[in-house]
């Protein structure tokens, strides 16, 4: 039996960067959390502690800040591509660079005043090798709710099933989505806005018989509206709303008063994909 080093990578995680772009009195703000992970010919440091191929993670952090000054930030996908390409192109022992970015949005209140928007976070995850680049955009925590047009019935039952069938329930979720682009050169901001609109439109307009059906409708809408996207992966927590029993108070509850459940929650996950696109160059969903 031999013991061998398996897959490995290293980098600086969660470098917090705020970049102010000054146009006289009017400023714009980029607020990012940047994670870099590099892989390549790094066996020596693991086996013998020979660090001659190891670019310090401290340098990666410095590069993030220096690039923000020198190049500006732009769309998170663009900044991630710039950084990832830099590491692969300038260090021959590095064969692949993965840069993940969380981007927090701020609403403008004045020329140089902002309010943090708490609703959802945009993400980008870029993988660059010497030959290829893969861009995955995403969002986390887009909370949506329909108070009508949601049913759930006709499901399997066994001796442990107590859930009543319903033709009228609240359907609520916090959308967690990642989508893989076909190209590494797109209008990233326009594409992002289009995907959020498609996801939202499908959630609102689908008369839902299950959250699974809604998931597929949301993915289909994105691929129909956005030709630049190869596939989308969705994770939809079913944010249950339980009807409160008001009968002890001799009050009817005609789907008006609910307990918003916290946990446990159903978790519905799925990929919706075009069947004629090249496969991903690397696994991209954590």
Catalytic residue numbers read 12, 57, 240
Decide whether 22 or 157 has the Cβ nearer to ligand URC: 157
Only one of the segments 63-71, 80-88, 206-214, 215-223 lies at the binding site for ligand URC (rule: CB under 6 A); that segment is: 206-214
Token pair in block for residue 60: 């990666």
Residue pair 179/167 in contact by the 8 Å Cβ criterion: no
Site string for ligand URC, 112-131 (x = CB under 6 A): --------------------
State in angstroms the smallest separation of the CB of 123 from ligand URC. 25
Q: In residues, how long is the chain?
A: 286
- 3-state secondary structure (DSSP) of residue 274: coil
Q: With binding defined as CB under 6 A, does residue 215 bind ligand URC?
A: no
**Residue of 122, 18, 128, 97 whose CA lies nearest to 65:** 18
**210 touching ligand URC, by CB under 6 A:** yes
Among the residue ranges 33-41, 88-96, 210-218, 229-237, the one whose residues contact ligand URC (CB under 6 A): 210-218
Find the part of the chain contacting ligand URC (CB under 6 A) among 52-60, 65-73, 122-130, 207-215.
207-215
Q: Which of residues 228-247 bind ligand URC (CB under 6 A)?
A: 238
CA dihedral 208, 209, 213, 214 (to 10 degrees): 20
Residue 239 CB, shortest distance to ligand URC, in Å, is 11
Question: Residue 117 is inside which H or E element, if any?
Answer: none
- Contacts with ligand URC in 133-172 (CB under 6 A)? 152, 163
Q: For residues 139 and 170, which CB has a smaller minimum distance to ligand URC in the complex? A: 170
Contact between residue 140 and residue 120 where contact means Cβ atoms under 8 Å apart: yes
Tokens representing 228 are 């630049």
- Quick one: which segment of 7-15, 29-37, 205-213, 222-230 binds ligand URC (CB under 6 A)? 205-213
Q: Between 66 and 204, whose beta carbon lies closer to ligand URC?
A: 204
Of 177, 218, 224, 180, whose CA–CA distance to 201 is shortest? 218
Nearest CA among 125, 84, 73 for reference residue 102: 125
> Should residue 266 be labelled a site residue for ligand URC when binding is judged by CB under 6 A?
yes
CB 32 within 8 A of CB 78: no
Per DSSP, the three-state class of 118 is coil
Q: How far is the CB of 6 from ligand URC (least distance, A)?
A: 36
**What tokens does 61 get?**
């952090």
Catalog residues that contact ligand URC under the rule CB under 6 A. Answer: 152, 163, 210-212, 238, 266
């Amino acid at each position: 039996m031999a013991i061998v080093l398996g897959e490995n990578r290293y980098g600086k995680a969660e470098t917090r960067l705020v970049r102010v772009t000054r146009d006289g009195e009017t400023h714009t703000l980029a607020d990012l959390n940047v994670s870099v992970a590099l892989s390549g010919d790094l066996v020596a440091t693991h086996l013998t502690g020979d660090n001659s191929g190891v670019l310090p993670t401290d340098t990666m952090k410095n590069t993030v800040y220096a690039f923000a000054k020198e190049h500006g930030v732009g769309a998170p996908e663009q900044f991630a591509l710039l950084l990832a390409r830099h590491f692969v192109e300038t260090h021959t022992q590095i064969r692949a660079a993965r840069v993940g970015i969380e981007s927090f949005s701020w609403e403008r209140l004045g020329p140089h005043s902002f309010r943090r928007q708490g609703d959802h976070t945009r993400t980008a995850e870029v993988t660059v090798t010497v030959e290829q680049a893969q861009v995955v955009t995403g969002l986390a925590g887009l909370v949506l709710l329909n108070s009508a047009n949601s049913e759930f019935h006709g499901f399997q039952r066994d001796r442990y099933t107590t859930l009543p069938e319903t033709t009228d329930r609240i359907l609520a979720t916090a959308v967690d989505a990642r989508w893989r682009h076909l190209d590494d050169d797109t209008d990233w901001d326009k594409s992002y806005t289009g995907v959020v609109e498609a996801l939202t439109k499908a959630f609102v307009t689908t008369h839902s018989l299950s959250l699974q059906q809604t998931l597929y409708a949301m993915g289909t809408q994105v691929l129909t509206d956005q030709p630049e996207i190869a596939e989308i992966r969705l994770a939809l927590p079913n944010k249950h709303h339980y009807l409160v029993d008001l009968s002890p108070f001799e009050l009817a509850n005609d789907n008006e008063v609910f307990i918003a459940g916290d946990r446990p929650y159903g978790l519905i996950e799925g990929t919706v994909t075009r069947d004629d696109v090249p496969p991903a160059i690397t696994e991209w969903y954590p």
